[in-house]
Structure 1
Amino acid sequence: MGLFSRKQSKQPLSSTDDSKSIQSNRSSSHKSPLSSINGQQFGMKSQNLLAEIPDIPLPRAPDPLIDPVKYLKSIYAVRERTRLVLETAKRNQLKHFTVDLGKFDDAVSYVVAIIKRDYGSDFASIPPHGRWQHFDVGGRPRVDQMMQTWPLSIDALERCRRLIDLFVVSVLLDAGAGSKWQYKSKENSRIYRRSEGLAVASLEMFKAGVFSNNPEQPFQVDSEGLSRITEAAMRKGLQVTDQNPIDGLEGRTQLLIKLSDALQNQAIFGVDSRPGNMLDYLLSHPTTHASSVPIIPLPTLWDLLMDGLGPIWPQTRTHIDGVPLGDAWPCSIMPSHPTHPWESIVPFHKLTQWLCYSIMVPMTKLLQVHFAGAELLTGLPEYRNGGLFVDTGLMTLKPDETQRGLEQYRANAERLGQPSMEVVPMFTADDDVIVEWRAATVGFLDELLIEVNKMLGLSGSDCLSLAQMLEAGSWKGGRELAEVSRPNTKEPPIMIFSDGTVF
């Protein structure tokens, strides 16, 4: 099959019949305004419903001069700060990369070819980027199949809570696994790698009750269940051995243990301390609008995740006034100011954005929730999207940095006793090279979306969203280019030392 050969169409996903849902199936301190509504009313949106959704005002971005921490942790700051790096990149004035804008059209053409290969002209069928598709790797609708095993008495609200439970844990485990790790499914004995492997592994662990404290209810994640997680348990669940190593096992384990502590916030996660209880918090939040469908402002979901899950992130990262900022890093080409240290920092919050994209999908599918301001989310600054721009020649690492990165790769390979093949530059996540690369990636993804829609001949409401382009084009395209360019390792053109908490 050629690189752009049309793939066979996938089997349609089966639907779950919630028509006999009769109860909320939970114990929580929240009272959802939808708890008495039958689950049958929450199918996918029709065009008529979409037309009836009103515009609602969104909050303004925090003022960095008043509260720089709140600003840098906001979703607004990601696009605003990375835009400064993009403008520098377009002038070919980056510190670590040369930029050849003449290659940008190559990236556009490649992404368009990938989209047309897989979807023909049926662009409206492209799902938004999210974890759901990873669970269904190989065309097997694992999420729907799991829901079909649940009693009909489990209503749409509880189904959605359970999926949020699953998606939160799975996304937090979804940092780069490395080229050597693989997972053999217990259900079909097939081998899966990277993000899809981590998705299938976390799904099978979820179904086995690994994250639940209730032996009679394996299909949930709760604080007490997570508090018992050990590195040995994660090693077993992810099938990690000396011959099947995974990057960042300790970091992944610590994220789940810290999640256990974060879930003690009963105002958000209820008395039974489940991630899924954020659903009721959101539906009952004063900023949520009751219309033909529930309308939740994206910043409300964002603030919940940043504040509610803030304690899980490593405390050794960038701080302002002693407050850790999460996935936000100093960048040398950013402005510097002696009394405004925030100006040199670029925030990404990649895993939080990936979590947003992912949990919005079940809330939309099962409950018809509409998220106002979803366009505030950015492209994800990770190695597949970023690798697309390097492998197409748009961005090229400068010689001195290339040499430094190659030396670090070889030292790491020697330390781990691994053979050196298809050697690529390697850096830590806080290295200025990586911060600059990630920031430019976010900016170029916005530019890519505009040009992809133009080349596809789409305009107005027919345009692909950024989430759709990430799903069908840039993320997939970056991975496939890596497979073609480095067929033995399938690694990206630049590697990052993974601690299990960033990529």
Structure 2
Amino acid sequence: MTPAPTTAETIAYLRSLPAVRERAELVYAKAQDRQLKHFDVDFSKLSDVAKFVVSLIKRDYDAKDIPNIPPHTRLRHFDVGQKDRIQQLCESWKGRIDNIETVRRLVDLIVVSVLLDAGAGDRWTFEVKPDNIQKVARSYSRSEGLALASLAMFKEGRFSGDIHRAHQVDADGLCSLTLESLREGFQVDEQKNPLLGLEGRWELLRRLGKALKLHPEYFASSENAPLRPGNMVDYLFKEGSDRPRRKDKYVVRTESLFKVVIDGFAEIWPPSRTTVGEVSLGDVWPCDALKTSSTPADSTDHFVVFHKLSQWMTYSIMEPLETMLNIEWEHANLLTGLPEYRNGGLLIDLGFMTLKPKEEERGLVNYKHNALKPGQPAVEVVPTFEPSDPVIIEWRAMTVATLDRIAVEVRKQLNLPNLTLAQVLQGGTWNAGREIASVSRPNTKGPPIAILSDGTLF
């Protein structure tokens, strides 16, 4: 008889990459048996979803370019408006810092930018002033607006504790960051330009500063150096240097980077998140579909695992280390599709998933209550739920499992078996979800189910 896992083993599993896909697959199996609690699923629509995704890929990319679709990372959002802002930033450092410090700075930027990438709401925008890369002022919203706001704040040194080194993120700078500085950086006006979850974002960054101080094994490059997210580059590069090279590339395990993100940033999560043995698990939630009447109160068998922010950060950090430090990532296929509202919204807008009538009614009641709050526009009524609601948990789990199946279909239809999941997300599902949302709900361009953002769920 196999002994029951210890608490430490359970925590380690629930904070691992394999747990994400394995637990999502259990929920998908329940859907196949028509045992979901909150959604009905029409499996015949899966091929329609894949066809729609393929049609957009073919529209947006020449056939010869499809195999080279870039991965779905935070860096894509900085390029909005066909402007290579990251390249310009790197050029501004040329001759003054070495290649490794360039990547450290990019990782600094990526980490804070990912943490600030929770839903912004339908009314917030960020205005980019004219400069030598953008000749006229222009406003951006949602993920791109948040990315450009984080870039501007990074360049202004708002996240640095060293006035002589503005272009870095460090523990002292984050811990001393004021709410007013973040409000100013995001150009927030409560009446004219409100941003959802501003205080939640501020608290998240301050907790990041504390996490950096608690984990010098990842974030200290030397004894007296500032504690920075970017110093994880040295930790990871050492692994690559210590292992045999593959065709002149440094080979680093994807799990090693994910461990830095999961362990090194563990303290950023709000205290309300799921815990086991007083250890926060982060983006892990109980799921009704996996729970039975006989499930013990202290069981974790009905928990589903997402780590969406951590995977988004991992995908994003991998890119500059691969392109600029000659690192090859081993086991990258452990990363999953991201359970966020663009990918998940695609499944609902194309009829693959449908809220059960009782849940639809409950969500609309929530919408009405939320619409009565000051500053809430009463447009495009959609079911609305808290991030922890069982509806959202089930929706996200189905999104993870279904994205794997969409990727298989997309590869078949394009006859490109080596197209990665990160490429399918970038070239296909994320853009498809955004595009169909803009057609279905042209006023807000929001998802078919709204999540009440507190600035800490992604």
Please report the TM-score for the alignment, with normalisation by the length of structure 2.
0.93
Instruction: Name the residue aligned to 2:442.
Output: 487
Q: Is residue 2:193 matched to residue 1:278? A: no
Instruction: Name the residue aligned to 2:330.
Output: 372
Structure 2 distance, partners of 1:90, 1:485, is: 27
- CA separation of 1:288 and 1:136: change in aligned 2, threshold 3 A: farther
- CA separation of 1:202 and 1:137: change in aligned 2, threshold 3 A: same
Instruction: Name the residue aligned to 2:88.
Output: 145
Which 10-residue stretch deviates more, 207-216 or 474-483? 207-216
AA of the residue aligned to 1:85: V
Show structure 1 runs of 5+ residues with no match: 1-61
AA of the residue aligned to 1:391: D
Q: Offset at 1:244?
A: 0.7
- Matched-pair contact (CA < 8 Å) for 2:437–2:448: yes
SS at match of 1:416: coil
SS at match of 2:40: strand
AA of the residue aligned to 2:457: V
Q: Offset at 1:130?
A: 0.3
- CA separation of 1:420 and 1:207: change in aligned 2, threshold 3 A: same
Q: Is residue 2:207 matched to residue 1:268? A: no
Instruction: Name the residue aligned to 1:154.
Output: 97
- CA separation of 1:302 and 1:64: change in aligned 2, threshold 3 A: farther
Q: Which structure 2 residues correspond to residues 64-79 of structure 1 after superposition, within 5 A?
A: 67-79=9-21
Instruction: Name the residue aligned to 1:501.
Output: 456
Instruction: Name the residue aligned to 1:311.
Output: 267
Q: Offset at 1:214?
A: 1.6
Instruction: Name the residue aligned to 1:418.
Output: 376
Q: Offset at 1:120?
A: 2.4
Q: Which structure 2 residues correspond to residues 239-388 of structure 1 after superposition, within 5 A?
A: 239-242=187-190, 243-264=192-213, 265-270=215-220, 271-285=225-239, 289-291=243-245, 292-336=248-292, 337-338=295-296, 341-388=299-346
Structure 1 distance, partners of 2:310, 2:143, is: 16
- Matched-pair contact (CA < 8 Å) for 2:67–2:416: no
Which 10-residue stretch deviates more, 336-345 or 88-97? 336-345
Instruction: Name the residue aligned to 1:224.
Output: 172
- Matched-pair contact (CA < 8 Å) for 2:240–2:251: no
Instruction: Name the residue aligned to 1:41.
Output: none
Instruction: Name the residue aligned to 1:209.
Output: 157
AA of the residue aligned to 1:381: P
AA of the residue aligned to 1:211: F
SS at match of 1:98: strand
Show structure 2 runs of 5+ residues with no match: none
Q: Is residue 2:122 matched to residue 1:179? A: yes
Structure 2 distance, partners of 1:306, 1:374, is: 16
SS at match of 1:184: strand
AA of the residue aligned to 1:226: L
Q: Offset at 1:287?
A: 9.3
Q: Offset at 1:501?
A: 1.1
Structure 2 distance, partners of 1:308, 1:155, is: 25
AA of the residue aligned to 2:264: G
Offset from partner CA, 1:115-137 (integer Å, 9 cap, x none): 11111212122001101110111
Instruction: Name the residue aligned to 2:422.
Output: 467
Which 10-residue stretch deviates more, 477-486 or 148-157? 148-157
Q: Offset at 1:341?
A: 1.1
Structure 2 distance, partners of 1:152, 1:67, is: 48
Query: Percent identity at matched positions?
Result: 50
- CA separation of 1:255 and 1:127: change in aligned 2, threshold 3 A: same
- CA separation of 1:299 and 1:116: change in aligned 2, threshold 3 A: same
Count of residue pairs brought into register by the alignment = 439
Please report the TM-score for the alignment, with normalisation by the length of structure 1.
0.85
Instruction: Name the residue aligned to 1:30.
Output: none
Offset from partner CA, 1:174-193 (integer Å, 9 cap, x none): 01111111000134421111
Offset from partner CA, 1:274-311 (integer Å, 9 cap, x none): 11000001122389624021111111111111111001
- CA separation of 1:150 and 1:419: change in aligned 2, threshold 3 A: closer
- Matched-pair contact (CA < 8 Å) for 1:64–1:70: no
Which has a greater percent of helix?
2
Over aligned residue pairs, what C-alpha RMSD do you find?
A: 1.6
Offset from partner CA, 1:82-109 (integer Å, 9 cap, x none): 1101111233321111111111111011
SS at match of 2:376: coil
Structure 2 distance, partners of 1:483, 1:107, is: 17
SS at match of 1:263: helix
Q: Offset at 1:63?
A: 6.0
Q: Is residue 2:448 matched to residue 1:478? A: no
Q: Offset at 1:258?
A: 0.5
- CA separation of 1:233 and 1:153: change in aligned 2, threshold 3 A: closer
Q: Which structure 2 residues correspond to residues 68-147 of structure 1 after superposition, within 5 A?
A: 68-121=10-63, 122-147=65-90
**Any runs of at least 4 consecutive aligned residues in structure 1 with deviations exceeding 4 A, and if so which?**
62-66
Instruction: Name the residue aligned to 1:51.
Output: none
Structure 2 distance, partners of 1:203, 1:273, is: 20
- CA separation of 1:286 and 1:366: change in aligned 2, threshold 3 A: closer
AA of the residue aligned to 2:360: T
Structure 2 distance, partners of 1:154, 1:324, is: 38
Structure 2 distance, partners of 1:311, 1:287, is: 29
- Matched-pair contact (CA < 8 Å) for 2:218–2:231: yes
SS at match of 1:70: helix
